[in-house]
Amino acid sequence: MQGVNVKSEIGNLKKVILHRPGNELLNLTPNTLEELLFDDIPFLEVAQAEHDAFADILRNEGVEVVYLEDLMAEALDTDPALREQFLNQWIYEAGIRTDLYTDIIKDYINSEYAATKDMVMKTMAGINLQELPQQHTNLLVDMVSDRTKLVCAPMPNLYFTRDPFNMIGNGVGINRMYSTTRNRETIYGSYIFNYHPDFKDVPQYYSRENTFHIEGGDVLNINEHVLAIGISQRTEPDAIDQLAHNVFSDETSTIDTILAFNIPVSRAFMHLDTVFTQIDYDKFTIHPGIMGPLTVFEITPDGNGGTKIRERDEDLESILTEYVGQPVQLIPCGGGDRIAAEREQWNDGSNTLCVRPGTVVVYQRNNVTNDVLYKNGINCLVMPSAELSRGRGGPRCMSMPAWREAL
């Protein structure tokens, strides 16, 4: 399958990009959790088993599962010069500025991780000082530094493949992320979309070099004409303006309306997909915390290369009904219970991955919400979630659809 095709949130899923959590999770420590955007340290072995169960559920539904690390290795292997170019960029973006350390790290990786995929995995996992060959340099760093200090930080959020880049119809946005820790993740996306034979011709609507931040968890493909984007902790309005301009000016794109949903800035609601996801033609799961009036801005082309904006002050239900083109039903996370709603939203009860209309992957731990979904005729594919959920993301965050069939 060449290119990408994602013109809805619910069309039959044919291909998805995942990342199996790896040794980067072993480099999480209590002191770094906040900066690395985790709330606790997952037990890696169990997290991997849960992730494998997720991938198996998808394969059983006829979805082709491809892994970020494989795509990256394949992209780098298209040209022998790319390995060196990537390593230099990765080391620089890890904050290493001296030639001495750049060389030490490069030599270490090239000698210990010669195979491209091993090298890619190592760059994800991070490096601490004690792994590097001991230098006799008379440098202060070698004499004073704690030998276990991380010289290249890990990227533990990589298993949330939804965020660093996102499909928009037949195109992609390579994002600039809100946090320093996640910004390095987008290097992989930029190599895949510039060099991988299956992805290099996909039009790019956003660049990681842009000034303003936007993350894929905020971008929902409602249908081939309408895109919904959250204005959130992670996505700035300026980024949406720029994306709108780029999408509208590409004549191959069919998107003519972008809805910007202004959601409260908080960690619990970090992205739009933490408060609602589409699960059927006419059904959405939502976090009851965002019921009631919501400010939504409708952005459309003005016909002269610019955009025009209309402010809407209605509730979520009427807005979605209008743009989806039929009456929609909003199914609240946690049923009607406030405590269950808050608890299950925190564990991504409204963050489902739709495999086809009416069939969704959900976390097992959100049993109150899952019961409500069953009662509404939704087929729930239940995955284990004790460890993966410690990173604060659910099945939608952990997947980047590359191909969905037309509805």
Residue nearer to ligand ARG on the CB measure, 76 or 397: 397
Nearest Cα neighbor of 122 from 132, 133, 135 is 132
Q: Taking the complex as a whole, how short is the minimal distance between the CB of residue 90 and ligand ARG, in angstroms?
A: 20
Residue nearer to ligand ARG on the CB measure, 246 or 347: 347
* Helix residue ranges, H only, 61-179: 68-76, 81-93, 99-112, 116-125, 140-144
Nearest Cα neighbor of 9 from 293, 282, 297 is 282
Q: Taking the complex as a whole, how short is the minimal distance between the CB of residue 184 and ligand ARG, in angstroms?
A: 13
Residue 259 binds ligand ARG, judged by CB under 6 A: no
Q: Taking the complex as a whole, how short is the minimal distance between the CB of residue 333 and ligand ARG, in angstroms?
A: 14
Q: Taking the complex as a whole, how short is the minimal distance between the CB of residue 73 and ligand ARG, in angstroms?
A: 24
Q: Residues in contact with ligand ARG, total (CB under 6 A)?
A: 15
Q: Who contacts 313 (Cβ-Cβ below 8 Å, separation ≥6)?
A: 293, 295, 296
Residue 68 binds ligand ARG, judged by CB under 6 A: no
Given 152, 333, 354, 397, the catalytic residue: 397
Q: Taking the complex as a whole, how short is the minimal distance between the CB of residue 347 and ligand ARG, in angstroms?
A: 12
Per CB under 6 A, the segment of 92-100, 164-172, 269-277, 362-370 that binds ligand ARG is 269-277
Q: Residue 315: beta bridge partners?
A: 293
Nearest Cα neighbor of 343 from 353, 333, 331, 357 is 333
Residue 392 binds ligand ARG, judged by CB under 6 A: yes
* Rounded CA separation 294/272 (Å): 13
Tokens standing for residue 10: 């619910």
* Rounded CA separation 284/307 (Å): 29
Angle value at C-alpha 6, between 161 and 216, nearest 5 degrees? 35
Per CB under 6 A, the segment of 128-136, 257-265, 308-316, 391-399 that binds ligand ARG is 391-399
Sequential DSSP letters for 163-222: TTEEEEBTEEEEPPPSSHHHHTTHHHHHHHHHH-TTTTTS-EEE-TTSSS---GGGEEE-
397 is catalytic: yes
Q: Taking the complex as a whole, how short is the minimal distance between the CB of residue 264 and ligand ARG, in angstroms?
A: 15
213 exposure class (CB count in 10 Å sphere: 0-12, 13-18, 19+): buried
Maximum C-alpha span of the chain: 71
Residue 290 binds ligand ARG, judged by CB under 6 A: no
Of residues 37 through 66, those in contact with ligand ARG by CB under 6 A are 37
Per CB under 6 A, the segment of 117-125, 245-253, 268-276, 355-363 that binds ligand ARG is 268-276
* Rounded CA separation 236/399 (Å): 23
Q: Which residue is nearest to ligand ARG (CB)?
A: 217
* Rounded CA separation 221/169 (Å): 7
Residue 280 binds ligand ARG, judged by CB under 6 A: no
Residue 217 binds ligand ARG, judged by CB under 6 A: yes
Residue 270 binds ligand ARG, judged by CB under 6 A: yes
Q: Taking the complex as a whole, how short is the minimal distance between the CB of residue 192 and ligand ARG, in angstroms?
A: 19
Residue 393 binds ligand ARG, judged by CB under 6 A: yes
Residue 397 binds ligand ARG, judged by CB under 6 A: yes
Q: Taking the complex as a whole, how short is the minimal distance between the CB of residue 271 and ligand ARG, in angstroms?
A: 4
Residue 185 binds ligand ARG, judged by CB under 6 A: no
Q: Which of 271, 356, 390, 404 binds ligand ARG (CB under 6 A)?
A: 271
* Rounded CA separation 75/2 (Å): 14
* Rounded CA separation 125/26 (Å): 8
Residue nearer to ligand ARG on the CB measure, 9 or 74: 9
Of residues 134 through 173, those in contact with ligand ARG by CB under 6 A are 157, 160, 162-163
Residue nearer to ligand ARG on the CB measure, 26 or 82: 26
* Rounded CA separation 341/366 (Å): 9
Binding site for ligand ARG (CB under 6 A): 37, 157, 160, 162-163, 182, 217, 270-271, 273-274, 391-393, 397
Just list the catalytic residues.
Answer: 397
